[in-house]
A and B are shown apart, each in its own frame.
Chain A
Amino acid sequence: MGSRRARELLSPFHLVMAFLGGLVLLFILAPLGTMFLRTGTGELAKTLSEPAVRESILFTIVTAMGSVLLFALFALPLAWLIARRDFRGKALVTAIIDLPIVIPHSAAGIALLTILARDSFMGKAADAAGFHFVGHRAGIMMAMAFVSLPHLMHSAILGFASVPERLEKAALNLGASPLRVFLTISLPLAWRHILTGFVMMWARGMSEFGAVIFIAYHPMVTPVMIFERFGAYGLRYARPVAVLFVSIALVFFIVIRILGGRRVTDVDHR
């Protein structure tokens, strides 16, 4: 397939398209590259030696992961339903899923704060259970999940839809319960899409600033720390933290993509 395309003749039109497209790549890579190049290794080492920075990065990574795993428990069933069943109001449900993408993240933070504050219903319930959302990891997880869930949802819906329905029916036909079919057929076959969704949601949650800062300034997630250092000391002090954070996220991102992409299953989509 690809090789055939690669052999097609190039026209000036293709070159114009390639030039315009190249500008997009440059636009993404130039600021990041410059940021990396402007940051000396000495600065990086010094920043990395600060316990506050290390703690913040670890806290952000773990908290974002927690929010992915916790919300996957609810997001995957919904994604499966959307991919598999036709029901009244399905279009509305998918539109609701996209809402967090289209609203400003600061507004999302305000909205979340409204229901998570200590005098709210949820806040009181959490109080009774012995914890708070505001200023705590639980609240940060909520804020991360709110803005990043659509990424998992989209991938998971795509994944479940790509599983041939007749495989699920064949499994049911062999006497397996619907739950067993979900766990042994649907989930494994949709796994690569779901994993992509996990990575996207995790990366998006980890980098969230707008919604998180309304829920918790402390404990400090790294995006908030970058903002704080920029505000207090300026670009020079904020940059090494940003570089470190981006590098670590990239490493995770690449490792997970490689692990997830390694097992190639030849699913028959016909």
Chain B
Amino acid sequence: MLTIDRLGVTLGDFALGDISLTVSQGEYFVLLGPSGAGKSLLLELLAGMIRPDSGRVTLGGEDITSLPINRRQVGLAFQKPALFPHMTVAENIAYGLRGLPSENRRRKVRELADRMGIGELLDHRPGTLSGGEAQRVSLARMLAVAPRVLLLDEPLSSLDSARRDDLKSLLRTLNREGQTILHVTHDYEEAFSLAGRVGILHRDDWGISRLEQVGPPREVFDNPRSSFVARFVGWRNVFEGRASKGAFFPDEAPHVELALEDTAAQGRGLVIIPESGIRCGGHEAQGADTMTGTLADVAPSPGGVEIRVDAGLPLSMHLTEDGFDGLGVDLGDALSVEIPPRSVRFFPAPHPSAPDQKGDCQHGTDAHP
């Protein structure tokens, strides 16, 4: 079990504030955050490459906060695999295998290479490998030393989508076999497909990155605790504002009134309107929940058309190609949008995007056993 307790560091432009987190034995934890949130910094802290200003890291009950890098048994895979260019793939994999008789070492290297699907590359030099191959060699080299936790820094970011799927399935297999993994990325879909739990790192207005929400990916997706998290996990129509008597008034357009299903909702909060929950009615649709707006942007997508309508509030929605053609509108044209109250999902404050959420980091400490 990896326990991070109120870890803090300031280094150049980056600052991590009071990060607390527990990754259980055998868990696949994905730490999410936009670039610049200090994700890599956190991994380097855990690997011992940087000293923290405050806080403690324990691994399997042992305090490793000030243990030298080479004694931590924490495997860090860099974003760009740091393979040793003057050694062959086999020598790279064998690097951490010291003290074994050479016969055993060869067997182990062969075994790891086969498992990672790089058995044919053992005599190659790193310079001749593709990105995906290099990433696998780096993983094999890491697994050779049986790290107690595997730290992965955006391992998929430099791969094309086919290689990415291969590597994802490899990582899932490793995890199923019991490998504890802490993986950082900025891609929520990646997190969704791999993680048992996710944590969202957010750099606040003071430039300090904190853990904003921790939980299973589905739960975080369905119940984001802040507008930042909501947008980060992919929601488009996210508005902060105030609810009163069954209506929601967004801060950015107080004159717009969105009807809520829950008429008792009261006070500040956050509203998410799923793109699928908005209906687009051309010029003629009329109804109590109908607003008129202008078509601000159109972007083709694999599943149809993404459009943005400026109806006082910027609203994004997704239409099929036929549906969009049926509307017969062009950029700048007026069209009406209908937002049924059941599509307007209200999450009452307090949520962490409000300043001063001291208790928030405690949410980081293991919501899951």
A interface residues (Cβ-Cβ under 8 A, vs B): 164, 166-167, 169-178, 181, 184-185, 188-189, 265-268, 270
Contact B73 A171 (CB under 8 A): no
Q: Using CB atoms, name the residue of chain A closest to B142.
A: A174
Picked from A164, A174, A178, A265, the residue with its CB within 8 Å of the CB of B145 is A174
Contact B95 A176 (CB under 8 A): yes
Contact B80 A189 (CB under 8 A): no
- Measured between alpha carbons, how far is A96 from B84 in the docked complex, in Å? 34
Contact A178 B70 (CB under 8 A): yes
Q: Which secondary structure characterizes the binding site on chain B?
A: loop
Contact B85 A172 (CB under 8 A): no
- Measured between alpha carbons, how far is A266 from B142 in the docked complex, in Å? 22
Contact B84 A167 (CB under 8 A): yes
- Measured between alpha carbons, how far is A188 from B95 in the docked complex, in Å? 14
Contact B47 A173 (CB under 8 A): yes
Q: Using CB atoms, name the residue of chain A closest to B49.
A: A169
- Measured between alpha carbons, how far is A269 from B145 in the docked complex, in Å? 26
- Assess A266 versus B141: contact at CB under 8 Å? Given A173-B47, A173-B75, A176-B96: no
Interface size class of B (residues with CB under 8 A): 20 to 34
Contact A172 B69 (CB under 8 A): yes
Q: Which residues of B contact A173 (CB under 8 A)?
A: 47, 49, 69-70, 72, 74-76
Known: A167-B82, A173-B49. 4 other contacts (CB 8 A): A173-B47, A174-B70, A175-B71, A185-B84
Contact B70 A175 (CB under 8 A): yes
Contact A170 B82 (CB under 8 A): yes
Contact A265 B85 (CB under 8 A): yes
Q: Which residues of B contact A189 (CB under 8 A)?
A: 84-86
Contact residues, B73-101 vs A (CB, 8 A): 73-76, 78, 80, 82, 84-86, 95-96, 98
Q: Which residues of A contact B75 (CB under 8 A)?
A: 173-174
Contact B85 A268 (CB under 8 A): yes
Q: Which residues of A contact B74 (CB under 8 A)?
A: 173
Q: Which residues of B contact A171 (CB under 8 A)?
A: 84, 95
Shortest distance from the beta carbon of B308 to any chain A beta carbon, whole Å: 38
Contact A174 B141 (CB under 8 A): yes
Q: Which residues of B contact A268 (CB under 8 A)?
A: 80, 85, 127
Q: Which 10 A-B pairs give the minimum distances between C-beta atoms? A: A174-B96, A170-B82, A266-B127, A172-B69, A172-B70, A166-B82, A265-B86, A267-B85, A188-B86, A173-B76
Q: Using CB atoms, name the residue of chain A closest to B82.
A: A170
Q: Which residues of A contact B49 (CB under 8 A)?
A: 169, 173
Shortest distance from the beta carbon of B1 to any chain A beta carbon, whole Å: 20
Q: Using CB atoms, name the residue of chain B closest to A168.
A: B82
Q: 11 interchain pairs (CB within 8 A)?
A: A170-B78, A171-B84, A173-B70, A174-B95, A174-B144, A175-B71, A175-B96, A177-B70, A189-B86, A265-B85, A266-B127
Q: What sequence of 0s and 1s flags, for each residue 44-87 of chain B, a beta carbon within 8 Å of any chain A beta carbon? A: 00010100000000000000000011111111101010101110
- Measured between alpha carbons, how far is A181 from B49 in the docked complex, in Å? 14
Shortest distance from the beta carbon of A186 to any chain B beta carbon, whole Å: 11
Q: Which residues of B contact A267 (CB under 8 A)?
A: 85-86
Contact A166 B95 (CB under 8 A): no
Q: Which residues of B contact A270 (CB under 8 A)?
A: 80
